[in-house]
C-alpha cells in the first residue's frame, strides 16, 4: 500500500509516495540519493544509519518512512553549511577519528544532537550517549576525543 507523505529533509521539502513498509533509510538512500546515510545492519543494531528527526537521533533503518510525515529530517548532507564543516565535523577531522568512514556520518549526527542539546555531559555520559554506534576501526579512542572536543565551549 502506498501513502503520500511530506518530508522536510535538510531544509528541502519533498512530497513523495512511499510504500507503508518502506524504511526511512531506504527512502533517503534509494529515492533521495542521500547516500551519506549508511546501512550496516538494517535492524537498529549498529547506528550507521542515524539521522536526526526533529533534532533527535534515530536509526533510520527501523523508522518507517510514513512515520516521518510532516517531520524535519537532518542527514549528514545537511550538516555542512555554506561549504564549511560544522564544529563536530571539524573535530572528527582534527582528532583523526575517521578510518574507513562508514560509521562516521551516524556518529556525527548523534554528536550534533548532543551539542545542540546545550547540556553538559560527563565522560561516562558521553560514552553512554554514543554507545549505540559500532566502530570496528578506531577502538573509539579518537571518536571519544572528537565528541569531547565538539562539546567543548
Partner 1 sequence: MKEKVIGNRASRLDAVSKVTGKAKYTDDFFEREMLVGKVLRSPHAHALIKHIDVSKAKSLEGVEAVITHEDLPKIKFATAGHPWSLDPNHRDVADRLILTDKARYVGDSIAAVVATDHLTAEKAIKLIEVEYEVLPHVLDAEEAIKPDAPTIHDEKKDNIISSFGQAFGDIEQDFQQADYIMEGVYETSIVQHCHLENHTAYAYKDTDGRIVIVTSTQIPHIVRRVVSQALGLSWGKVRVIKPYIGGGFGNKQDVVIEPLTAAMTLSVNGKPVRYQLSREECFIGTRTRHAIKFYMKTALSKDNRLKAIHIKAFSNNGAYASHGHSIIMSASSKFRPLYHFNSVKVEPKTVYTNLPTAGAMRAYGVPQICFALESHLDDICKKLKLNPIEFRKRNLISLGHVDPLSKIKVRSFGIPECIQKGKELIKWDEKKKSYENQTGEKRRGLGMACFSYFSGTHPVGLELAGARIVMNQDGSIQLQVGATEIGQGSDTAFAQMAAEVLGISMDMVRVISTQDTDIAPFDTGAYASRQTYVSGAAVKKAALEVKDKVLKIASRKTGLKVEDLDIVDKQIVEKDLGTPLCSLEEIAMLSYYDRIHAEPIKSDTSENIRTNAVAYGVTFAEVLVDMVTGKIEVLEIYNVHDSGTIINPSLAEGQVHGGVSMALGYALSEKLMFDEKTGRPLNHNLLDYKLQTILDTPKIGVGFVETYEPTGSFGQKSIGENPAISPAPAIRNAVLDATGVQFNKLPMNPQAVFEKFKDEGLL
Please give the C-alpha separations between residue 141 and each of 13, 34, 68, 105, 144, in angstroms, as whole numbers.
38, 28, 34, 17, 5
Residue span 10-29 as binding mask against partner 1, x where in contact by CB under 8 A, dash where not: -----------x-------x
Q: Are strands 56-59 and 50-53 parallel, antiparallel or unpaired?
A: antiparallel
- Tell me if 33 sits within 8 A of 50, measured CB to CB: no
Least gap, CB of 70 to partner 1 (angstroms): 24
- Pick the closest to residue 9 from 58, 60, 50, 52 (CA basis): 52
Least gap, CB of 83 to partner 1 (angstroms): 10
Q: Is residue 33 a contact residue for partner 1 (CB under 8 A)?
A: yes
User: All 3 cell numbers of residue 45?
Assistant: 543494531
Angle at alpha carbon of residue 31, lines to 12 and 35, rounded to 5°: 80
Q: Is residue 57 a contact residue for partner 1 (CB under 8 A)?
A: no
User: In the complex with partner 1, which residue's Cβ is closer, 30 or 70?
Assistant: 30
Sheet holding 56-59, edge to edge: 12-19, 2-9, 72-74, 50-53, 56-59
Residue from 3, 99, 121, 148 touching partner 1 (CB under 8 A): that is 99
- Stretch touching partner 1 by CB under 8 A, among 52-60, 65-73, 94-102, 112-120: 94-102
Q: Is residue 5 a contact residue for partner 1 (CB under 8 A)?
A: no
User: In the complex with partner 1, which residue's Cβ is closer, 67 or 85?
Assistant: 85
Binding site for partner 1 (CB under 8 A): 21, 29, 33-43, 45-46, 48, 75-77, 79-80, 85, 89, 92-94, 96, 98-105, 108, 127-128, 130-131, 133-144
Amino acid at each position: 500500500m502506498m501513502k503520500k507523505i511530506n518530508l522536510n529533509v535538510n531544509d528541502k521539502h519533498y512530497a513523495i509516495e512511499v510504500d507503508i513498509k518502506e524504511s526511512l533509510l531506504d527512502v533517503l538512500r534509494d529515492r533521495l540519493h542521500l547516500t551519506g546515510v549508511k546501512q550496516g545492519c538494517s535492524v537498529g543494531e549498529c547506528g550507521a544509519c542515524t539521522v536526526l528527526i526533529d533534532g533527535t537521533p534515530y536509526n533510520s533503518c527501523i523508522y518507517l518512512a510514513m512515520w516521518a510525515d510532516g517531520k524535519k529530517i537532518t542527514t549528514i548532507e545537511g550538516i555542512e553549511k555554506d561549504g564549511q564543516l560544522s564544529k563536530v565535523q571539524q573535530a572528527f577531522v582534527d582528532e583523526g577519528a575517521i578510518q574507513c568512514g562508514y560509521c562516521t556520518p551516524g556518529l556525527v549526527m548523534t554528536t550534533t544532537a548532543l551539542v545542540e542539546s546545550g547540556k553538559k555531559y560527563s565522560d561516562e555520559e558521553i560514552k553512554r550517549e554514543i554507545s549505540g554506534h559500532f566502530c570496528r576501526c578506531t577502538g573509539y579512542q579518537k571518536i571519544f576525543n572528537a565528541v569531547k572536543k565538539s562539546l567543548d565551549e
